[in-house]
């Protein structure tokens, strides 16, 4: 492992972007900016930006609380007010944070919402989450945007029409009312032009794992890369700049034949290439990641980085059809794909990025991801005869992270990959 962990320029840019965003949130009251709470999958940030409002993503706050070791207390506080041990820990972490003064990840207070935008995409818990928040913030309007599921492996015209009608008659009027700004389609188109550039760049970035060694880890580092698109920057010029910078840095690594950067420096020898399904654990993120890079395992593709939008299958926003595009974007998020589509996509990743194995990190909290994962494993094993493995953890509840358990399972999995390599060589 190389010792240097110098910050790349893109990291500095991202840090600044996020810090500025939280600064803007903490001063929203003074500046008069309206605040919209919404979710990552199917987030229609472009529309929020078109009304000059500021988005807040409770999921991002929850994961940040997990990384900063605060989620434990928040979850227990939520359980004290009646939340079950059995439900999604993001919800409990968020509720706990709220009843503890809503101090966000940067230590600044997050303002209460002026609008709850329930972009109900690929997860039922979102609805329950906001039903709870609605009671904690009485009087705050809720705009529901129901995203139909791609149950038949396609987006049918009725589905898009349903969503566009909701945008026109439910979401936009509520945004106009809350922000006091009139809907301006030309402005939205301009924002979407940036989104389309960002989508292209994202795809190019995650495609660099085709190289050997892979210049990036598409899961552990990947979650940082998707930070800006998942936290409100998708249609901004800053995002275009950030992703172009990131891409050129990665291409430089490719040119130099370098592997991914880890928290302990550069990973020198790539031993295993994996595709991972499921979100990561946040409470022990560093230890979790280390378990992989210590074994020389690099993640060449992950489903989690597609949670806020899937671009691999050809989807791009069309700025000339802004509302249709937003609708289709929502319907194309990873967890809104049906099980067969998820399998097809993962299969494509395994083949394209020449993975040696497929691993599921099954999250106790998250039925949206977890229900069906064992079937996904069975199918991929059957179709590709590839080694598959399963580890279990949670997003932000440290009670469900067992280091030794995960380590044992990973060790056996890597042994299996080694053996397979020997067999394939023979």
Partner 1 sequence: MESLNQLIKKCEELAFDLDFTRAKQWKSEGEGRVLVGHMPIYFPREIVHAMNGLAVGILGGGDKKQIIRGDAYYQSYICHMPRGIIELALDGHFDGFEGFLFPSICDVIRNLSGMFRILKKGKFVKYMDFPQNFQKHIGGEFYKSELMEIADKISQINQVEFSVERFNESIQLFNKNRQLTNTAYNLRKEAPWKISAAEMYSVIRAGYVIPVEEHNEILEKLIELVNAAEGVPQDKIRVQVIGAFCEQPPLSLIRTIELAGCYIVEDDFLLGSKWIQGDIEADTSDPVGAIVDAYINHSTFSSTVYDVDDPKEYRMLELFKESKGDGIIFAAPSFCDPALLDHPILQSACDKNGIRYISFLFSENTGQFKVIKEQAGTFSDSIKLWDGDMVGLK
Task: Catalog residues that contact partner 1 under the rule CB under 8 A.
Answer: 81-84, 86-88, 91, 118, 120, 123-125, 127-132, 134-135, 142, 144, 146, 148-149, 151-152, 158-159, 161-162, 165-166, 169-170, 338-340, 342-343, 362, 364, 367-368, 370-375, 379, 392
Among 61, 283, 368, 393, binds ligand SF4 (CB under 6 A): 368
Q: What is the DSSP letter of 281?
A: P
By a kind-dependent CB cut-off of 5 to 8 A, residue 351 interacts, out of ligand SF4, partner 1, none, with none
Residue 395 binding target from partner 1, ligand SF4, none, CB below 5 to 8 Å by type: ligand SF4
Q: How far is the CB of 368 from ligand SF4 (least distance, A)?
A: 4
- Considering only residues 117-136, where is the footprint of ligand SF4 by CB under 6 A? 123, 125-126
From partner 1, ligand SF4, none, which one binds at residue 99 (CB under 5 to 8 Å depending on kind)? none
- Yes or no: say if 132 and 98 are a contact pair by the CB < 8 Å rule: no
Residue 242 contact partner, candidates partner 1, ligand SF4, none, CB within 5 to 8 A by sort of partner: none
Instruction: Give whichever of 271 and 364 is closer to partner 1, judged by the CB atom.
Output: 364
The Cα 98–Cα 109 span in angstroms is: 10
- Three-state DSSP at 337 gives strand
Nearer Cβ to partner 1, position 51 or 130?
130
CB of 75 to partner 1, least distance (A): 14
Six token digits for residue 278: 């499921």
Q: How many CB atoms lie within 10 A of CB 323?
A: 20
Task: Give the whole-angstrom CA distance, residue 232 versus residue 48.
Answer: 8
- Choosing from 323, 395, 410, 417, the residue that interacts with ligand SF4 (CB under 6 A) is 395
Q: What b/e sequence results for 172-207 when a residue is b if at least 16 CB atoms lie within 10 Å of its CB, and e otherwise?
A: bebbeebbeeebeeebbbbbbebbbbbbebbebbbe
Token pair, residue 73, equals 């207390």
Segment 163-222, which members bind ligand SF4 (CB under 6 A)? none
Which CB sits closer to partner 1, 118 or 178?
A: 118
Under 8 Å CB-to-CB from 88, ≥6 apart: which residues?
125, 129, 365, 366, 367
281 binds ligand SF4 per the rule CB under 6 A = no
CB of 81 to partner 1, least distance (A): 6
Token pair 């993962």 is found at 346
- Out of 54, 88, 133, 388, point to the residue binding ligand SF4 (CB under 6 A): 88
Q: How many residues bind ligand SF4 (CB under 6 A)?
A: 12
51-80 residues near ligand SF4, rule: CB under 6 A: 59
* Partner in contact with 241, chosen from ligand SF4, partner 1, none, beta carbon below 5 to 8 Å by kind: none
CB of 248 to ligand SF4, least distance (A): 33
Question: What is the C-alpha to C-alpha distance for residues 349 and 297, in angstroms, rounded to an integer?
Answer: 16
Of 48-56, 257-265, 322-330, 365-373, the window that binds ligand SF4 (rule: CB under 6 A) is 365-373
315 CB-near residues (< 8 Å, 6+ apart): 199, 309, 328, 329, 332
For 181, the token pair is: 């700004």
CA distance 24 to 395: 27
| DSSP code, position 108 | S
Instruction: Give dist(CA 1, CA 3) in Å, integer.
Output: 6
Interaction site with ligand SF4 (CB under 6 A): 59, 88, 90, 123, 125-126, 365-369, 395
């Amino acid at each position: 492992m190389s010792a240097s962990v110098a910050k790349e320029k893109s990291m500095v840019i991202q840090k600044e972007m996020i810090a500025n965003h939280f600064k803007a949130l903490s001063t929203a009251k003074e500046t008069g900016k309206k605040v919209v709470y919404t979710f990552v999958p199917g987030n229609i940030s472009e529309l929020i930006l078109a009304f000059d409002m500021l988005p807040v993503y409770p999921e991002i706050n929850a994961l940040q609380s997990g990384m900063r070791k605060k989620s434990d207390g928040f979850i227990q506080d939520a359980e004290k007010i009646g939340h079950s041990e059995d439900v999604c820990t993001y919800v409990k972490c968020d509720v706990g944070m709220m009843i503890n003064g809503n101090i966000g990840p940067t230590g600044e207070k997050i303002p209460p919402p002026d609008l709850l935008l329930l972009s109900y995409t690929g997860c039922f818990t979102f609805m329950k989450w906001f039903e709870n928040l609605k009671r904690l913030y009485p009087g705050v309007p809720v705009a529901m945007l129901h995203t139909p599921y791609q149950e038949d492996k396609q987006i049918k015209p009725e589905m898009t029409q349903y969503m566009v009608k909701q945008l026109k008659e439910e979401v936009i009027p509520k945004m106009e009312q809350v922000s006091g700004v009139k809907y301006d389609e030309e402005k939205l188109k301009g924002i979407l032009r940036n989104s389309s550039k960002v989508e292209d760049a994202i795809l190019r970035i995650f495609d660099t794992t085709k190289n050997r060694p892979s210049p990036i880890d598409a899961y552990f580092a990947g979650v940082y890369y998707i930070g800006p698109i998942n936290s409100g920057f998708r249609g901004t010029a800053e995002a275009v700049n950030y992703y172009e910078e990131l891409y050129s840095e990665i291409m430089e690594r490719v040119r130099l034949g370098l592997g991914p950067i880890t928290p302990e420096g550069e990973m020198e020898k790539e031993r295993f290439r994996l595709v991972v399904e499921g979100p990561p654990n946040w409470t022990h993120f560093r230890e979790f990641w280390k378990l992989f890079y210590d074994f020389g395992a690099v993640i060449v593709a992950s489903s989690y980085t597609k949670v806020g939008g899937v671009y691999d299958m050809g989807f791009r926003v069309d700025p000339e059809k802004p509302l249709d595009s937003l609708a289709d974007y929502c319907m194309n998020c990873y967890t809104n794909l049906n099980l067969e589509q998820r399998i097809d996509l993962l299969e494509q990743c395994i083949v394209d990025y020449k993975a040696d194995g497929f691993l599921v990190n099954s999250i106790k909290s998250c039925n949206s991801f977890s229900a069906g994962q064992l079937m996904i494993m069975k199918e991929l094993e059957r179709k590709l005869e590839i080694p598959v493995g399963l580890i279990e953890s949670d997003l932000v509840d440290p009670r469900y992270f067992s280091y030794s358990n995960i380590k044992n399972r990973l060790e056996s999995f890597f042994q299996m990959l080694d053996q397979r390599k020997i067999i394939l060589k023979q």
